[in-house]
Chains A and B, each alone.
Chain A
Amino acid sequence: MPRRKKGDAMKLVSMHIQKQALAEIDELVKQGVFPSRSEAIRYAIRKLLAKEGIGKPIDDYPDEVFLLGR
């Protein structure tokens, strides 16, 4: 998980969404594509914002220490 920066506080938002869309999101979570519903929705929003040319591009790839060798 990327570390959250200071001032990156969360706010709770409630909204209506189509049942079918939610079922598909749940399926993606079940398949392990996303860790949670919220993460899937945040990812979707970030993609849309990036497409609209607003917000940061999605390149905040993880900074873990990778297995290397030989």
Chain B
Amino acid sequence: MPRTKAPKGSMVIITVHLPKEILREIDELVSKDKYPSRAELIRAAVRDMLDEMRYQPHQQQQQQDPPEDPPPDPKPKTKAEIEKERSLRYRGCVSKLLNMLLSNLDRFKLNVMQDGAYKIPKKVIVEFFTEDCRMHKSVVVPAYNALVRHFMDAGFSVAETHRTFILRKEIEVVADA
């Protein structure tokens, strides 16, 4: 039985399906004594993720004792409020990325193809959504689609390959009067 620091009452049992490969990697770290047990590693992983998800921009990566009391919960939010908050967050995120890409298009100059298209690695986009915006990858697709629509609204034609997002500025040809 692994030792648990927290009193038993504050713990609950959960059951998770894990890919064998991940389990092998967990065991590798445990056998290197990086973590005392599988459970301890998983608890550390969950703690790290929740710390990140709480999304405190000014939080330093210091090992200070985090306050143990649960966050104050003034009144429960309705489903509609949660939904609205989420969609606002995602929309904010998409337009932030759009502006960032538009003002940094030069960075992708090296990738400008002969026909004048900009090639942005999808990795850049996905990393922004998952790392900067803390979006889970399951919601990356709708956000990506929204980004595509924004680019079209901004006058770009948009195409893609497996790993690359391709933008081409549509040039308005104004006929002489």
A7 to chain B, nearest CB (A): 7
On chain A, the residues within 8 Å of B47 by CB distance are: 21
A27 CA to B174 CA in the complex, in Å? 53
A47 to B152 CA separation, bound complex (whole angstroms): 34
If over half of A's interface residues share one DSSP class (helix, strand or loop), that class is named, otherwise mixed; here it is: mixed
* Size category, A interface: 35 or more
In the docked arrangement, what's the CA distance between A69 and B38, Å? 48
Is the pair A55, B23 in contact by a Cβ cutoff of 8 Å?
no
Which chain A residues have a beta carbon within 8 Å of chain B's beta carbons? 1, 4, 7-25, 28, 30-35, 37-49, 51-52, 54-55, 58-64, 66-70
The 7 closest A-B pairs by CB, nearest first: A44-B49, A48-B45, A15-B39, A44-B45, A10-B17, A70-B157, A16-B11
Could you pull out 8 A-B pairs where Cβ atoms are within 8 angstroms?
A11-B19, A16-B13, A17-B46, A19-B11, A21-B50, A41-B14, A44-B48, A68-B158
Q: A21-B46, A69-B158 are in contact. List 4 more A-B contacts (CB 8 A).
A: A19-B11, A42-B18, A47-B45, A66-B141
